[in-house]
Chain A
């Protein structure tokens, strides 16, 4: 292949796009977190996220969130095609602000849980889950 100026330019654009890709998925999570918190500062005390360190099957990964006193807890999977997973809103009759469910993970990634407290502050916990078989089909 003869390397013309046009080819060089196209290759440069291509590699720039490739380099931006991971940044963009990361930004998607940041955007969704900002949409939930309104850009407020996020603390780290008072929330527990229980997830397995290694999940053999990404189709059903058991997770548990617990944030005493929280109004709502939102869960994100940073590496999924759509990062948001679920939002738990607790009512007056919830005995504890905790819940357990099973989620899908596309691959090894961080699972993030953020709780909104009644005073308007936010706390966050995250854990990396290693996934052997992804859970998004293909």
Chain B
């Protein structure tokens, strides 16, 4: 498994109903492309995060399929609508079967 994988997510703490907010996510991951070779000329096997999803109270906001051409420490920025108080769930799927998650609560005042 990839080591020291740490998701970081930035979501505003509160919003008004129906407000559009910007979400920024970053996860530390080497995203080994499978194109590089080590010192002995052997190909380093591919090991990337291949899917990222964001949902709010179970409804999809964005679903991204990642290929090896995404940089190390995949970063995403996107906009979401906040209809009510709830929780954003973020999920990253690793090639090796690992799943990394993070969640952020947001209050509609």
Contacts and interface: CB of A to CB of B under 8 A. Distances in A.
A13 B54 CA distance: 52
Contacts of B59: 91-93
A98 B36 contact: no
Contacts of B68: 82, 104
A136 B75 contact: no
Interface of A: 59-61, 77, 80-82, 84-96, 98-105, 135-138
Given A95-B21, A99-B76, A101-B77, 12 more contacts: A59-B71, A81-B35, A85-B67, A85-B70, A87-B65, A90-B63, A92-B60, A93-B81, A94-B61, A96-B79, A99-B77, A100-B76
Closest 5 A/B residue pairs (Cβ): A91-B60, A137-B36, A95-B20, A95-B79, A87-B65
A99 B78 CA distance: 5
Contact of B80 (A94, A100, A102, A137): A94
Contacts of A135: 71
